[in-house]
Amino acid sequence: MVIQINSQVIHYEHTYCEASSNPPLLLLHGNGEDLHIFDELIFSLRNEYEIYALDTRGHGLSAAPDVLHYDDMAEDVAGFIRQLQIASPIVVGFSDGGIVALLLAMKGSTPLTGIITCGANTNPKALTLSARHQIKRSLKEKLAAKHSKNDSLSRSTDDGNGTESSSTAAMRFAATGALEELMLKEPDISASDLAKIQVPALILTGEHDMVKLSDSKKIAEHIPLSRLVILSGEDHGSYVVHSTKLGDYIRKFI
């Protein structure tokens, strides 16, 4: 399914649960991914929650924007909740999706039951040095490839009507290095920004996360109604991507 929000076409999936008395879930994936990283989690929770999962702008089957900013992504999610009249969801965000969840809750204009962030960071320097080096290396490779090749990727696949398909648009967008540039330049969330969050927040981070533990502690310490859980043996996405491990934390969060 698709919906137009802020002049942006957003793709999403909706799992309806008629018998559920729990707040609905809204799932947000990370950088360079799509909603399908949650397939296993959605299947495991399908009889307990009404679930919405979306491809953020520039990802999956959603449209590719001219530029990419976390604030715009948060506005998309706010518009998504309003247009579909989703009643006070729990927003579960992984990595970039966790950043978006923080920004959404900071604004305070969208009714939420709470947020669960997984491996979110408040600024680029909160990522480990090795993670930043890897992101910079990926960006350098993409920029070099862009200068050495023609634009055949953007012309090679269309939907049969001479227009670019959404999946091809996302691939082309990713090849520009815009996703890496986003992680290297944003976000910029201060302690005072975090203090604006007035809904319950569960802050999850892996023991071996690419986000520094000090930053996860900062997030939890400055959100009034928050709790930090450090997951033993887990890395940045091992407990999220194609995993059902989040299910118990979501259930207990209620």
pLDDT for res 152:
52
pLDDT for res 24:
98
Pairing mode of beta strands 90-94, 25-28: parallel
pLDDT for res 150:
52
pLDDT for res 162:
47
Q: Give Cα separations from 13 to 2, 30, 93, 105, 165 (angstroms).
A: 8, 16, 16, 22, 18
Tens of pLDDT, residue by residue, the chain (254 residues): 999 999 999 999 999 998 889 999 999 999 999 999 999 999 999 999 999 999 999 999 999 998 999 999 999 999 999 999 999 999 999 999 999 999 999 999 999 999 999 999 999 999 999 999 999 999 999 999 987 765 554 444 444 444 456 567 888 899 999 999 999 999 999 999 999 999 999 999 999 999 999 999 999 999 999 999 999 999 999 999 999 999 999 999 97
pLDDT for res 254:
76
Homologous superfamily of domain range 2-127+188-253 = Alpha/Beta hydrolase fold, catalytic domain (3.40.50.1820)
**CA–CA distance, 252 with 160 (Å, rounded to integer):** 48
Cα dihedral across residues 87, 93, 96, 102: positive or negative = positive
pLDDT for res 39:
98
pLDDT for res 169:
81
8 A C-beta contact, residue 235 and residue 141: no
SS3 (DSSP) at 53: strand
- What predicted TM-score, i.e. pTM, was given to this entire model? 0.93
Q: Give Cα separations from 167 to 58, 164, 174, 205, 214 (angstroms).
A: 9, 8, 11, 30, 37
Cis upstream peptide for 187 (omega within 30°): yes
SS3 (DSSP) at 65: coil
pLDDT for res 158:
46
Q: Note the residue count of the chain.
A: 254
Phi/psi at 159 (nearest 5 deg)?
-90, 15
> Which pair of structure tokens corresponds to residue 152?
């055949």
Q: Give start-end residues of each CATH 3.40.50.1820 domain in the chain.
A: 2-127+188-253
Rg (CA), the chain: 18
pLDDT for res 19:
83
Enumerate the β-bridge partners of residue 201.
115, 226
> Which pair of structure tokens corresponds to residue 144?
């070099």
